[in-house]
Structure 1
Amino acid sequence: MDIVIIENQFTQTVEAVSKVTGWAVDRKIILAIASTYVATGKVFDGEKYKNVVEEMKKRTSWMSPLRTSIGYSLAANMMEQDDTEQAIKTLLNNEKILKEANFKRGNFSFIGAQFLTENESEKRAHAQTARALYEAIRKYHRFLTSFDDIPYTVLLSSPNDDVVLRAETMNRYYKELRTYQFGAGNELQWLSQILTFLSADYDSNLVASVATIRDYLKKQDVKVKYMHYPLLGFLAILQLNNGQLQQIADLYHDLKGMKLLKWHREFVLFMAVQIIIYDLSKVQQSLTMAIMSSIELLIQAQQAMMLSAVTAAAVASNSSTS
C-alpha cells in the first residue's frame, strides 16, 4: 500500500469534511468520517454531504442529537444510500421505534437505529428484543451497562433471538478474558459482546484467539489501548492469520507518521484495521462462508464501533472539561 497516496486522500477528505462541519463538530468525529472513506476507497462528495446534513436538520428539532457531532457522522453514512431522503426518514423512524422500546434518546440510540431490521413488520419486535438483551446484559453488569451499549444490543439481536443465552455467553467471555489480563470496564464488555457476532453459542476458541492477536500486535510495537479492545474481537471473528496481522502492524507504523494523526494516535489502529478488513472483503476466498455472508454488516459494525468509541471519548472529554 502506498502510504503517500493514503495520506493525501486522508488530508483531502479531512479538509472536505471540515468545510461542511466547520468548528461545530468534534475533531475526532471528522477524523473518523475521513478514515472510513479512505479505508473503503470512496471519494467524499462534499456537496452531497452538505445537502444531507441540511435535510437532516430540516427534519429534526433544535434539541435533537442529530444537530450535534453525531448527526454529521451519521450523515456520512446516509449519503451512501441511493435515496438519501428515504434513508434519513428510515433512521428517524427506527430511532423512534427504539425509544418506544424504552431506549433513552441520545447519540447512541441514533447509532443503534442504523442496525434495526429492514423488515418493516419486524422492526418493533427487533427493538423489543434489543431492549430485552440490554436488560439481560445489565443483570450481569449493572454498573457497566449504559447508553453506549445500545448500538451493540441492536446489532447483535434479532426478532427471534435467545437473549438469555446471548447475555450468558457474553458474560462468560467477559470473565474468561479477565483471566488473560484484559482490563475490566466498558471496552471489555463491548469486546465480549462483539464475540457473539456470528453466534450466541459459546465458542471455546475465541477468547484465546483474541489474546493471541493482542499479544502478536504488541510484539510488533502496536499500541493496543482499552478503546481498541472491540477491534480485537473483529479480528478474532475474521480469523486472520499471522501474515494478515503483520499487514495491519506494518500499515499501523506507516500511518503513525501522518501529520493529521500526530495528536490523535488512537485512530491509527482503527484506520489500519479498517483498510485491511476492506481489502479482505474484496478477496473473499480468504474468509469463511459464515463471514463472507456477513462481511458487509461486519464492516458497518466495525465502523459503528469506532464511532461509538470516539463518541464515548468525546462525551467523556466534554464532561471532564465542563
Structure 2
Amino acid sequence: MDFVMIENQFTNMVEDVSNAVGRTVHRKIVLAIASKYVASGKPFDSVKYKEVLQEMKKQTSWTSPLRTTVGYSIAANLLEQEDPQQAVKNLLHNVNIMKEAKFRSGNFSFIGAQFLTEEESEKRAHAQAARALFDAIRKHHKFLTSYDDIPYAVLLSSPSDDAELRAETMNRYYKELRTYNFNAGNELQWLSQLLTFLSAQYDNNLVPNVVTIRDTLKNQDVKVKTMHYPLLGFLAILEVNQVQLQQIVDVYNELKDMKLLKWHREFVLFMAIQIVIYDMAQVQQSLSMTIMSSIELLIQAQQAAMFAAMGAAAVASSSS
C-alpha cells in the first residue's frame, strides 16, 4: 500500500471537494466526502456534484434537510446516479414513502430514504418493515431510541423479516457488550444493530470478535472513541484477521500526522478502515459486491448520523 500516494490523493481530493461545496461548509463534511472517494478509488465529479446541489435547491423549500449539512453528504451519494434531476426526484419520492410509514420528516428520514429498496413495487412494504423494526427496537430502549436510529432501521429491515426477533437480538448484543466496558448510549446501540446485519439470529462469535478488535486496536495506541463503535461492527461482520487489523493500524499511523487531519483526528480511523475494506474487496472474492455496497451504506449512515448529531446545521447557500 503506497501511503505517499494515498496522502497526495487525499490532499488533492480535499481541495477538489472544498472548491465544489464552497468555503462555508463544515470541514468535517469535506473530509468525509474526500475520504469516501479516496478509499473507493472513484473519481469525484465536481461539476456533476454542483448540479446535484442545484437540483436539491430547485426541488425543495428552504426548510428542507437537503439545504443543511446533511444535504452535502447525501449529494455525494447521489453522484453515481446518471441523471441528477431524477436522482433528487427519486430521493424525495422515497422520503414521501417514509412519511407514509409514519417516520417524521427530518435529517435522519432523508438519510434513511437513500436506503429504501430500488424496486418500486416493494418500497412501501420496505418502509413499513423499517417502521416495525424501529418500534420493536424502541420497546427495548424507549429513551435511547430516536430519529438517529431510522437509517439503521431501514438498512437492516425487509418485508420478510421478523422485526421482534431482530430487535431482541440487538438488545442481547447491547447487554453483552456492556459487560465488556462499552459505554452505554447511541453509539453502542448502533453497534448492536449492525451486528444483526448478516442475520437476525444471535451469533455467539460476534461480541468476542468485537472485543478482540477493539482491544487489538487500543493496544497499538489507536484512539477508539465511542463514535467509532459502529466501525468495530463493520470489522466483525467482515471477520477481519490480525493481518488486516495490522493494515488498519499502519494506515492509521500514517494518516494521523497529516496536517489536514490535525484538528479532526476522529476521522483518521474512519479513513483507515474505509481504505483497508476497499483493499480487501479487491483481493478477496468472498467479499461480494452486495456486501461491499451495504458496508459502504453503513459507513455513510454512521457518518451522516455523526454530522447531524454534531449540530452543525449550516444552511446551504447560493455560493455553493
TM-score by length of 2: 0.94
Q: Verify: 1:306 aligned to 2:308, yes or no.
A: no
**1:316 deviation in Å?**
9.8
Matches for 1:233-248 after TM superposition, within 5 Å: 233-248=233-248
Structure 1 runs of 4+ with >4 Å offset: none
Distance 2:110 2:185 in 1: 23
Give per-residue Cα distances to partners, 1:262-292, cap 9 Å, x unaligned. 000000000000011111111223x36xx66
Aligned residue number for residue 277 of structure 1: 277
Give per-residue Cα distances to partners, 1:160-216, cap 9 Å, x unaligned. 211000000000000000111111000000000000001101001100100000000
Question: 2:69 touches 2:307 (CA, 8 Å); kept in 1?
Answer: no
- The structure-2 alpha-carbon separation of the partners of 1:107 and 1:24, relative to structure 1 and needing over 3 Å to count, comes to farther
Aligned partner letter, 1:130? A
Matches for 1:1-322 after TM superposition, within 5 Å: 1-285=1-285, 287=286, 293-315=290-312
Distance 1:277 1:303 in 2: 14
Distance 1:228 1:102 in 2: 30
State, as a whole percentage, how many aligned pairs show the same letter.
Answer: 68
CA RMSD between the two structures: 1.6
Question: 1:278 touches 1:299 (CA, 8 Å); kept in 2?
Answer: no
**1:58 deviation in Å?**
0.6
Which has the bigger relative contact order, CA under 8 A and spacing at least 6? 2
Distance 2:181 2:283 in 1: 34
Distance 2:106 2:218 in 1: 35
Distance 1:40 1:274 in 2: 8
Question: 1:136 touches 1:163 (CA, 8 Å); kept in 2?
Answer: yes
Q: Secondary structure at the match of 2:310?
A: helix
TM-score by length of 1: 0.94
Aligned residue number for residue 320 of structure 1: none
Distance 1:196 1:307 in 2: 20
Distance 2:133 2:179 in 1: 25
Question: 2:69 touches 2:312 (CA, 8 Å); kept in 1?
Answer: no
Distance 1:294 1:10 in 2: 25
Distance 1:316 1:201 in 2: 38
**1:293 deviation in Å?**
4.3
Distance 1:128 1:212 in 2: 36
Q: Secondary structure at the match of 1:15?
A: helix
For this pair of structures, how many residues does the alignment match?
Answer: 314
Aligned partner letter, 2:216? Y
